[in-house]
Structure 1
């Protein structure tokens, strides 16, 4: 049932790029590194199952998720979906002007940043409740500030950053499907200063 998920996928089709701009679809993709049904995803993200199902079909249509099996739940048969990759990179070869691609990259990244931040907040609140019940919750946080002199330097930093993390993931990824799962989120954005301006 479970299929191999790519560490990264180069998005070269405009319809796939457009699908990634939707924050809810980005959230769904982020949670589909393991097989799940529409009902299961809806519970996780506090959404209506019909809405999640609609977005799953849209993501499947453009090839970003695939059906990987079914399971019986009471009298219903649930379809299980899985994302094709953990991270998505917009290609420079998309048939759009470079300015449009850059704008979509920025908008898509910001939408995903908001969605990821909301997910982290929800997950942290659940884990805090477990921690209050004397359950040990292992976690780690890295918060760093870096000054990058140009857009080229920024792109090079992000590319090397992703490669290093992917190597770490591959090195420590357990083949045991029963092993504990940990969520890893990477983000890079301009540091806001007071008044909403970027630093």
Structure 2
């Protein structure tokens, strides 16, 4: 699976802007699924699931990663071709569709984060001791709101993705370590219309 896929066709944008397909892509980002498994997960007919899978596959967004025979039937396992998607410059004139695609994918990421929080083991929220030192915390839950120029924000995003590369290297080192645990990171950062966090300044 590639880290990032550049979308070069308008049809790819349209395919991902559909809320249901965006939700399906979240499942296919996590692991391979068959049409039958997705049909059961979404409680939807095989025919409808197959229609959506074929459209996503036709647009180069998912692929068959392996097949398996069960009861004489060949099952096809589909998975996303990339962990993330970004539009090519020539698609920017279709900004409305590009924006809606991004909105739907981020919404599905937020839903997935919610499910992980609700299903997390009690150990995930355990506090070994009271401390303000972040290196001693077992989890992070934080909301930030700030003002910055567009250039500053983009520079921060670059630093964030550099940090994600560090996580990728750390994960490879942990694959053979029997003491390693699985952690989930979810980050959303975007421009909003107006401040939602009001700060009281005693001096004013």
Q: Same fold (TM over 0.5)?
A: yes
8 Å CA contact retained: 1:8, 1:89: yes
CA distance in 1, matches of 2:34, 2:22: 16
Rg larger for: 2
Deviation of 1:39 (Å): 2.5
SS in 2 for 1:6: coil
Deviation of 1:13 (Å): 1.9
Matched, 1:90 2:87: yes
Aligned to 1:54: 51
User: Relative to 1, partners in 2 of residues 1:160 and 1:119: Cα closer, same or farther, differing over 3 Å?
Assistant: same
The Cα offsets for residues 79-127 of structure 1, whole Å up to 9 and x where unpaired, read as 1112111111122232x52xx32x33432222222222222323433x2
Deviation of 1:185 (Å): 2.6
Match for 1:12 among 3, 8, 12? 8
CA distance in 1, matches of 2:190, 2:76: 36
8 Å CA contact retained: 1:9, 1:87: yes
The Cα offsets for residues 27-49 of structure 1, whole Å up to 9 and x where unpaired, read as 222222432212323444x3415
Deviation of 1:63 (Å): 0.4
SS in 2 for 1:7: coil
8 Å CA contact retained: 1:9, 1:85: yes
Aligned to 1:194: none
Aligned to 2:168: 169
CA distance in 2, matches of 1:16, 1:47: 25
Instruction: Note the residue ranges of structure 2 that are not aligned, 5 or more in a row.
Output: 126-137, 196-204
8 Å CA contact retained: 1:7, 1:166: no
CA distance in 2, matches of 1:22, 1:153: 32
Deviation of 1:58 (Å): 1.0
Deviation of 1:172 (Å): 1.8
- RMSD across aligned C-alpha pairs, in angstroms? 3.0
Matched, 1:106 2:99: yes
User: Relative to 1, partners in 2 of residues 1:160 and 1:7: Cα closer, same or farther, differing over 3 Å?
Assistant: same
8 Å CA contact retained: 2:26, 2:108: no
Aligned to 2:134: none
Deviation of 1:65 (Å): 0.6
TM-score, scaled to structure 2: 0.69
